[in-house]
Amino acid sequence: MLTVTGASPNIFGGLFNIPELPFRASSEATSAGKPIEIALLLDNTSSMFTGTRFTVMRQAAKDYVNQVYALGGDRVKIGVVPWTTVVNINSEAILATDPTAVASSTPPISGSGRDVVPPALDRLSVLAEPRNATIPLSSARLLDLARPTRWRGCIRSADNEVRVSASGAVTQTISDAPPPTRFPAALLEPSASPTNLSYCTAYVDVPPGPPRPPGPPSPPPVPLGALDHLRSIYAASRSMGQAFRAKSPGDWLSSRYRSVVLQCVNTVYSGLVSCTQGTGIHANGTLNAYFNSPRGCSSARDASNRPILSSTLPACLSDPNELDYLNAGGAICSWEVDAFPSYASTRQTTPAWTRAVPISGPNLNCPVSILPLSGNRKQVLDKLDEMYPVPGGTQADVGLVWGLRILSPSPYWRQFWGLSAQQSPSAFKSSQTYKIAIILTDGKNEAPTQYEGYYGCTNTGRSAAGNCWRSPNLGILNNMAADNMTLSACNIMRNTYGIDVYFILVDVTDPVAMALASACAPAPGHAISTSSSGLSDVFNNLVARNLHLTH
């Protein structure tokens, strides 16, 4: 028996033209003994931490979890899929069923910062090279790719698990079948281009512009060797053959060369970088600017103006979510200390991350790990507390496909999550079980531009990292393709697998996003658009719907 008192804003369309619906409802669950399996598919992209939206979303989800466990007890299993443009499969072991209440907590927007729970399984057997799903990864190779930290657990799409044509149409839909290949490890290459120091060994003169009218004969040209008495000119960041005009030619050239453009030849790169790296290296956060290994640097020159080794810049990154790395004293890149507001004065590595700031590292777009279905209330709440927002784009279909996989009773996925037979999800379309997927996001799909997501990214000139990789599954990667994959995934989950899909939009006014939500969850009351302040009421309503309460 449940007794609830309060007043709820009428957020479902104002059907009764009443701004507030006072109620006192005494309800009793009519589904006694019937299991309920819920997948919470929660948007962890960086736009979610605008204002207090992320904190409000997490608290509303926690309230929902508490109510469902309080009502359903050990009949309830809840899983959490924190999604961005990728997902993290380093899932922890499922704890013993325990629906009892636990003490409340209010972590900051940046997450609880708890020590990362070791994954239940070694994932090496399902991992492939980041750009090729057919090439297995060795442990040594994975460690090398993830320097200076470790692979956090995010992956990209296996070949042929879904396919999209060049026109953006979905030609192969998702399923709970085992993936056809391994999953490429989602590790992002550094795209910083620090100033490489070089110098010239000789110069040749290059006539500037069109030839002059014939005049008196010129004296014979000075041989290249005749310039040897000139000091080698120190040139930073100049490629071989790049022409430049001397600032003060009169200081070191005869008047004969004062109007001549000089060209540096036989440029020799020292392999060193400047010991002082400016904040411009991160290009306002659009580049993944970090050092995956120590770099020799120069702040002095020898007698010939050649850069000489002065010191070493440490391997570094600037991702506040790399808890293990930071707690072990890992270096933060000096050009991105904005990601750590207190770093300059206190070397604090657990920042109050309250705004979008440039961050960098091999795992920068990787959220916290997926939690498979669990009957342990504290474990689910801990996972919600752990969540933090990350940059890179928004692809709801990624959350949906992995929501299907934590709800699947398939032997492959049961083994994938390390579940026992007793922990296995129930069969699809069983009259004895409710399976529910609740997806929550604050915006429309945005295909990733700079950082490879599940299907790659779109940028064609990312400095040192080169062009984006794109999955061979997709003939095109854009917002339209992401929308089509989202709608296709919703339809498959509802129609093929009998999952009750709810689509919640938070603080969204975009008509495309609203239309997509309505198409994904067409049943009455299943597509919901609300403000962040109304989220608590939305989840309260879902408790009644999901547990089939009657007045």
CATH number at residue 462: 3.40.50.410
More confidently predicted of 32 and 415: 415
Name the token pair of 467.
């062009």
**pLDDT for the residue 339:** 63
Question: Going by C-beta distance under 8 Å and a sequence separation of 6 or more, which residues neighbour residue 539?
Answer: 60, 61, 63, 64, 67
Contact 456, 474 (CB under 8 A): yes
Q: Which of 466, 147, 145, 140 is nearest to 314 (CA)?
A: 147
Total of domains in the chain: 1
The 10s digit of each residue's pLDDT in 437-490 is: 999 998 889 999 999 999 999 988 788 888 999 999 999 999 999 999 999 999
Average pLDDT estimate for 138-150? 97
Q: Is residue 42 part of a domain?
A: yes
In 3-state terms the chain splits into helix, strand, coil percentages (rounded to 5) of: 25, 25, 50
Contact 75, 35 (CB under 8 A): yes
More confidently predicted of 409 and 250: 409
The 10s digit of each residue's pLDDT in 327-375 is: 888 988 888 776 665 443 333 444 444 444 678 999 999 999 999 999 9
The 10s digit of each residue's pLDDT in 17-53 is: 223 323 333 333 444 568 999 999 999 987 776 667 8
**Percentage of the residues of the chain whose pLDDT score is greater than 90:** 54
- Lowest-confidence pick of 81-95, 113-127, 262-276: 262-276
Cα angle 392, 397, 402 (rounded to 5 degrees) comes to 100
**pLDDT for the residue 206:** 60
**Percentage of the residues of the chain whose pLDDT score is greater than 70:** 78
**pLDDT for the residue 278:** 81
Contact 356, 80 (CB under 8 A): no
Q: Is residue 344 part of a domain?
A: no
Q: Is residue 51 part of a domain?
A: yes
Distance from C-alpha of 504 to C-alpha of 518, rounded to nearest angstrom: 10
Q: Is residue 186 part of a domain?
A: no
Q: Is residue 442 part of a domain?
A: yes
Q: Is residue 91 part of a domain?
A: yes
**pLDDT for the residue 189:** 94
φ, ψ (nearest 5 deg) of residue 494: -75, -50
Q: Is residue 383 part of a domain?
A: yes
More confidently predicted of 401 and 238: 401
**pLDDT beyond 60 at 56:** yes
Per the structure, the complete domain to which residue 57 belongs is given by 36-118+362-550
Distance from C-alpha of 273 to C-alpha of 271, rounded to nearest angstrom: 7
